[in-house]
Amino acid sequence: MDFGPHLMLAAIEGAVAAAVLALTALGLSLVFGVMRVVNVAHGEFFMLGAVLAWAVAHLVPGPAWAGYLAALVLAPLLVGLLAAAADWVVLKRVQYDPERTIVATIGLLYILQQATLMAYGPEARPVAAPFDARIALPWPEWGPEGLVLTWPWGLGTTAWKLVVIAAAALLVALVFVLVQRSRAGLVMRATQFDRETAQAFGIPVARVFALTFALGAALAAIGGVLVVPIQQAHYLMGGDPLLLSFIVVIIGGLGSLRGTVVAAILIGMSDGIVSVFFSPTLAKILATLLVAFVLIFRPQGLYGTRAA
């Protein structure tokens, strides 16, 4: 295959990575923005989404798509409930103190990981995509007769990857509408800005925090459900999304949702492309280097308003 078509394949891999990363990082960013909590356990919510997708898909009888659809609804819901409970019994108890929440969420990370290991086991398990179609992609070329489309052998992708990209884009748009346009979003933004004054105007900050933490976790879980047909469910799979989400949130600017999405596309695309042409390890090294540069030269991130 020529370089052009090869790059296009890599770009699709990158777009899938970017799509899932945008969801996961948006959850982390939302939680940090509104609650000022650095959630070290965020990757475990992603992992739980994937593992629960496997469990639900196996419990629901009938065709593969039915199980998968059930998982798409149930896994984020269950993970959201779990997160709300964790907020109530752990984060609220330490009064959202920045240092203590870091330690508490590290504890949460190990509890969730080890509990999954005990209940689900160390195996990586696949979940079938709801449909299994491959799409051959055309490659445009300028010939003597102008633009012609050719179908190079091997240039194709699974329809599922395109669905993942579309679903993530839709969900990201929904999160923006929720935060920027809805009443719930207004309450979240007011709480983010000044939680004491928010209370003085009747906003139940404790409930807003529980719901924000649940929403952030559910976004990571949906990311996990969407990738599980591509990447198998495994109890240690939360590490990379956590690292990359942190990278994205720092590059985008702490607390800026727009910056988070832009940085997710940047990091996701480069991660996908570098992984295809070179190696996933090199991709992580580059992303980490980029964060170091951002922290040195633009500590507020791309869209951040104040220095972090």
Partner 1 sequence: MLRIEGIDAYHGRAQALHGVSLEARPGEILCIMGRNGAGKTTLLKAVMGLVAVPAGRIRLGEVTLSDLPAHEVPRHGIGYVPQGRRLFAELTVAENLAIGLMTRGHGAATRERVLTLFPRLRERLDQRAGTLSGGEQQMLAVGRALCLEPSVLLLDEPTEGLQPSMIGLIQDVARQMRAQGVAVVLVEQRLEAVLALADRVAFLETGRLRSVIPAEALRERPDLAATYAGVG
Shortest spacing between CB 264 and partner 1, in angstroms: 22
Single out the residue of 216, 229, 232, 227 nearest to residue 79, CA to CA: 216
Q: Return the number of the residue (118 or 307) whose C-beta is nearest partner 1.
A: 307
- State which residue, 199 or 231, has the beta carbon closest to partner 1: 199
Rounded distance, CA 80 to CA 149, Å?
46
Q: How far is the CB of 246 from partner 1 (least distance, A)?
A: 24
What does residue 142 show for φ and ψ, rounded to 5 degrees? -90, 115
Q: Which CB sits closer to partner 1, 24 or 191?
A: 191
Closest contact distance (angstroms) between CB of 46 and partner 1 is: 29
Minimum CB–partner distance for residue 195 and partner 1 (Å): 10
Closest CB to partner 1 among residues 89, 183? 183
Between 153 and 201, name the residue whose CB sits nearer to partner 1: 201
Q: How far apart are CA 215 and CA 69, in angstroms?
A: 19
| Distance of closest approach, residue 97 Cβ to partner 1, in angstroms | 14
**Minimum CB–partner distance for residue 194 and partner 1 (Å):** 6
> Backbone phi, then psi, for 149, in 5-degree steps?
-100, 130
Distance in angstroms (rounded) separating the CA atoms of residues 113 and 100 = 20
- Burial pattern 92-125, b for ≥16 Cβ within 10 A else e, equals eeeebeeeebeebbeebbeebbeebeeebeeeeb
Residues of the shown chain interacting with partner 1 in the complex, contacts defined by CB under 8 A: 183, 186-187, 189-190, 193-194, 196-206
Whether residue 79 contacts residue 150, with contact meaning beta carbons closer than 8 Å, is answered with no
Q: How far is the CB of 255 from partner 1 (least distance, A)?
A: 10
Residue position matching structure tokens 């591509």: 230
Per DSSP, the residues of 10-78 read: HHHHHHHHHHHHHHHHHHHHHHHHHH----TTHHHHHHHHHHHHHHHHHHS-S-HHHHHHHHHHHHHHH
Q: Smaller CB distance to partner 1: residue 125 or 189?
A: 189
- How far apart are CB 203 and partner 1 at their closest, in Å? 6
Both structure tokens of 66: 């039915």
d(CA 259, CA 248): 8
Q: Between 193 and 278, whose beta carbon lies closer to partner 1? A: 193
Residue nearer to partner 1 on the CB measure, 131 or 193: 193
CA distance 234 to 120: 9
Question: What CA–CA distance (Å, rounded) separates 284 from 274?
Answer: 9
